[in-house]
Amino acid sequence: MTDFVLATAEPTTMLSHMALYGLAAIVEDGGLEDVRLSWTAGMTPRPVLSAPQATPETIGEIVRRHAARHDTPESWPNRQISEGEQRALMSPRISVISSSEGWRSLQDRRHHVLNQLTNARAMLDLRLIAALGEPSYWSKNRKGDRLQDDGASRLEMQPRNQGSEFVGNRIRPLAAAVAARTAAEVSDGLLGRSVRDEIGKDRPDSRTPTGFASPGPTDNAVAWCALWGISQFPIAQRTNGFAITSGHIGRGTSGYFYVPVWDGRWRTARHRTIIASEQLSQFASTGLAPDSIGRASDDDPSSGEAARQWLASRDVIAVVRFPVHRFGSDSAPERRAILGELLKTGRR
């Protein structure tokens, strides 16, 4: 096995975890076999991708090709809501569509894209779109107004000011930036040898991390992988209220994100299983007030201990919990995962 270490990725920053998850999904989708995820040992653990041919040249070229494939006019990120409408068709949160005809047209066009991706067996693309969610035409308040953000993943934190949306304002420009690099430039960014924030113009207040880290210059290859990391967090839609997002606890858009840290090398399928488990959610809720996470106050107090034991038996050594804070104005708030806290399972 060859190790590809994201050497500057701090475990207390959610961007680091998401970049590992997305990178593993991308290179596995790109044909690399026997892909594993792990963390280095010691006081300053770093995320590691391992595979028999995980050389910088191979990884860089797979990620570059992946971005280039999504930078073409016919790719799903470049599909628009309608002719002359720049907003992306596959974004989970868009400005409200007022008419029933508009909603039917939106759904018909989205289904057409999904059918094309299904026929092409583009499983990673389908997994990301499903994990992002969709505008929830079915969710309404007491006045009958549609609450179309209710169907979106909590991990989708692109601010909605001035009509911006996730696919058009993040996926599209990142695809173009990473596709324009050489394979070596992509791998250098992932390995931490350089930091180039093309879409953020290297500004000190760059929003390229899109809520997974504090504003600041962020290498675009790292950001590209991090956003594709969302594909590993499935959601469950509800007829009333926000969709339930794996890796999130809390009411609405507030609360906490959480991810595991483990011993050994995991396949991506095993990682997805743990991420979506109730035990991980229960343990991540340790020490939190029930009202703050939307749980009933009469939950069995032994459930946290049972969850801890379940995780420890599966080589999870800790869970990192990231509080979600809101910044900016009430009309266009920014949500952001701040530095995480470590909850140890006691496994040694």
Q: What is the pLDDT of residue 297?
A: 44
Strand partners, 257: 248, 322
Distance from C-alpha of 336 to C-alpha of 243, rounded to nearest angstrom: 19
- Chain mean pLDDT for the chain: 92
Q: Residue 292: phi, psi to the nearest 5?
A: -75, -15
Note the pLDDT tens digit of each residue in 30-54. Answer: 999 999 999 998 888 999 999 999 9
Note the pLDDT tens digit of each residue in 67-113. Answer: 999 999 999 999 998 877 788 999 999 876 778 888 898 999 999 99
More reliable by pLDDT, 31 or 1: 31
Note the pLDDT tens digit of each residue in 272-317. Answer: 999 999 999 999 999 887 777 766 544 566 778 999 999 999 999 9
Residue 182 has pLDDT above 70, yes or no: yes
Mutual orientation of helices 56-69 and 183-191 as an angle, nearest 10°?
110
| Overall average pLDDT of the 199-212 stretch | 96
DSSP string, 227-260: HHGGGGS-EE--SSSPPEETTEESSTT-SEEEEE
* DSSP type of residue 170: I
pTM of the complete model: 0.95
Q: What is the pLDDT of residue 300?
A: 62
Cα radius of gyration (the chain): 20
| Overall average pLDDT of the 330-337 stretch | 84
Distance from C-alpha of 334 to C-alpha of 164, rounded to nearest angstrom: 12
For tokens 């991420």, the residue is 275
The SS3 call for residue 12 is: coil
> Beta strands 2-5 and 316-327: pairing type?
unpaired
